[in-house]
Amino acid sequence: MKKMRLLCLLALLLLRTATARASAAVQGSQAGNRSSLPSLASCQKSCGNLSFEYPFGIGAGCFRPPQRDFELICNNADGASQHPRLFLHDGHTEVVGDIITSDKDGLPEIDVSFSRSVSVSPEVDAYNMSWNPWKSPCYYHVSLNFTGCDFDMYMLDPDTNKMVGGCNTTCPHEDITDSVARQDCNGTGCCTTQVYSEFARGFDIKFVRHKIGKLKLKAHSNRSSIWDTIDVTSNYASIPWAIAVDEPGPLGNSKDYACLSNHSSSQLAYQYHYTDTPQYHCYCDGGYRGNPYITDGCSRDKGNYSHAYKVNFLQQYAPTKIN
């Protein structure tokens, strides 16, 4: 009987050892997959007076693949007399504020600026423009000014072709200038539209000329450039960003695949709304700060540790209020 017990204990011990090794192997494999981040030591972290961190970056190996949503462009075309300008991967959307990587209180956002022009001619009555700064569906909070004469402007969701914004301009006086029109932007040569769009991949913008007659347009060769150009400029534009759950391999459905740092967690984005591709963002746990998207990016926040400890203590041990 004693021998039988010893054999059972030995078998149990071997089973536990094998299970522990298997578990460690799985965790090690997952950690290897999750930590397959190339060295970022040589990667640029600023452009002009703006700073950013991974998953955003400039150049191959410095931004998060596989899509190019996180690729940035630093444009030095204005020369040494001007600060370099930072753009999203489309080359048209300018970043106008530092890109913050960790924000537990809400979706991290990128403040951007957008400016494009379209040349017009009397023979053509309709024009099109696209603005697609982000490939994954996301929120857009945008206010745009359109400057031009006698056009209806429509902003459309590129996936559904549904109108999400628009306005129109008229130019009752032939001598109106674009600078005068922009002063009030009240519909005379300039109009404004605001769009708060959910899960859009950008916008298609369509311009349709009012039926005013082409002879009127041809009769004034000395008119202002407002008659020959449509200008689109942003008053305000903000793009919240998140990580799309589109990773290949065994962790393809993980909701925290990109949260590489210890002491980091993930939060599902748009969890109260429908979206075809789940998205999430990472943040450092309470009492830690830094970049959760890189290995060991979250470190102890010594300045806020005592406060965080007190808050946690009060939440756990505060007396229950009785109504």
Report pLDDT digits (tens) over 71-85. Answer: 999 998 766 667 899
CATH number at residue 117: 2.60.120
Please indicate, yes or no, whether residues 160 and 55 belong to a single structural domain of this protein.
Answer: no
Percent of the chain with pLDDT over 70: 67
Q: Give how many domains the chain has, as a whole number.
A: 3
Q: Does 269 reside within a domain?
A: yes
Q: Which helix (H) or strand (E) holds 179?
A: helix 178-184
Question: Rounded CA gap, 63 and 65, in Å?
Answer: 6
Q: Does 193 reside within a domain?
A: yes
Please indicate, yes or no, whether residues 251 and 263 belong to a single structural domain of this protein.
Answer: yes
* Least confident residue range of 111-115, 245-249, 260-264, 284-288: 245-249
Please indicate, yes or no, whether residues 76 and 153 belong to a single structural domain of this protein.
Answer: no
Q: Does 323 reside within a domain?
A: no
Please indicate, yes or no, whether residues 205 and 120 belong to a single structural domain of this protein.
Answer: yes
Q: Does 49 reside within a domain?
A: yes
For 260-276, the pLDDT digits (tens) are 899 998 888 765 454 56
Question: Rounded CA gap, 300 and 288, in Å?
Answer: 4
For 80-110, the pLDDT digits (tens) are 667 899 999 988 899 999 998 866 566 788 9
Please indicate, yes or no, whether residues 115 and 229 belong to a single structural domain of this protein.
Answer: yes
Count of CB atoms situated within 10 Å of the CB of 176: 19
pTM: 0.74
For 15-50, the pLDDT digits (tens) are 444 333 333 332 333 333 444 566 788 999 999 999
Please indicate, yes or no, whether residues 94 and 120 belong to a single structural domain of this protein.
Answer: no
Question: Rounded CA gap, 205 and 198, in Å?
Answer: 17
For 174-225, the pLDDT digits (tens) are 888 888 899 989 999 999 999 887 667 788 999 999 875 544 555 455 567 8
Boundaries of domain holding 177: 109-213+222-240
Please indicate, yes or no, whether residues 293 and 196 belong to a single structural domain of this protein.
Answer: no
Q: Does 197 reside within a domain?
A: yes
Q: Does 5 reside within a domain?
A: no
Please indicate, yes or no, whether residues 182 and 252 belong to a single structural domain of this protein.
Answer: no
Please indicate, yes or no, whether residues 147 and 183 belong to a single structural domain of this protein.
Answer: yes
Whether 286 has a pLDDT exceeding 80, the answer reads yes
Mean predicted lDDT score pLDDT of the chain: 76
Please indicate, yes or no, whether residues 190 and 120 belong to a single structural domain of this protein.
Answer: yes
Q: What is the pLDDT at residue 35?
A: 45
